[in-house]
Copies of this chain bind each other. A is one copy, B any other.
Amino acid sequence: MSGLLTDIDHVGIAVEDLDAAVAHYQRTLGLDPVHREVVPDQGVEEVLFHVGSSFVQLLGALGSDTPVGKFLAKHGPGLHHIGYRVSDVAEALERLKANGVPLIDEVPRDGPRGTTIAFVHPKGFDGVLVELVQGNEAT
């Protein structure tokens, strides 16, 4: 079959102190944030930086009982998930489902910055939490 993924949309990184991390990325890497958004249904505040045709996404937890809050308590800060860009999330979910890949979201839902997204279960890809992202590309 043809490839399902058109690009890496973003790499999501869980941080303890979002403002401090943003300032650190600005100072050490010369990156300026291009987007900041509170995403209540994911329990995070996210900041995006352009890196080439992708984003680096810093994630602060909105509380200790959120998925990212629990991740931070268990693992400490670090790589949290990878977001792959696809042309059609609904079609991608169907293809993954047909191939027996376990999903978190059975149907697409609204994501931040006007995107349509769905999460795939980490059991589906060797422990990697995968997000499918459609729309609002970095380039």
Interface stretch (choices A4-12, A62-70, A106-114) = A4-12
Interface residue SS majority, chain A:
mixed
| Contact, CB under 8 Å: A15 / B126 | yes
Q: How large is the interface on A (under 10, 10 to 19, 20 to 34, 35 or more residues)?
A: 35 or more
Given A7-B51, A8-B52, A52-B53, is A76 in contact with B30 using a C-beta cutoff of 8 Å? no
* Whole-angstrom distance between the Cβ of A78 and the nearest chain B Cβ: 4
A30: chain B residues at CB < 8 Å are 1-4
A50 nearest CB neighbor, chain B only: B3
| Contact, CB under 8 Å: B5 / A78 | no
A15: chain B residues at CB < 8 Å are 126
Query: Does A61 belong to the interface (CB within 8 Å)?
Result: no
* Whole-angstrom distance between the Cβ of A79 and the nearest chain B Cβ: 4
A99: chain B residues at CB < 8 Å are 27-28
A14: chain B residues at CB < 8 Å are 126
A96: chain B residues at CB < 8 Å are 28
A95: chain B residues at CB < 8 Å are 28
* Whole-angstrom distance between the Cβ of A81 and the nearest chain B Cβ: 8
Q: Which of A28, A77, A95, A122 has the most CB of B within 10 A?
A: A28
A78 nearest CB neighbor, chain B only: B127
Contact of A53 among B7, B13, B25, B77 (CB under 8 A): B7
A8: chain B residues at CB < 8 Å are 8, 11, 51-52, 54, 56
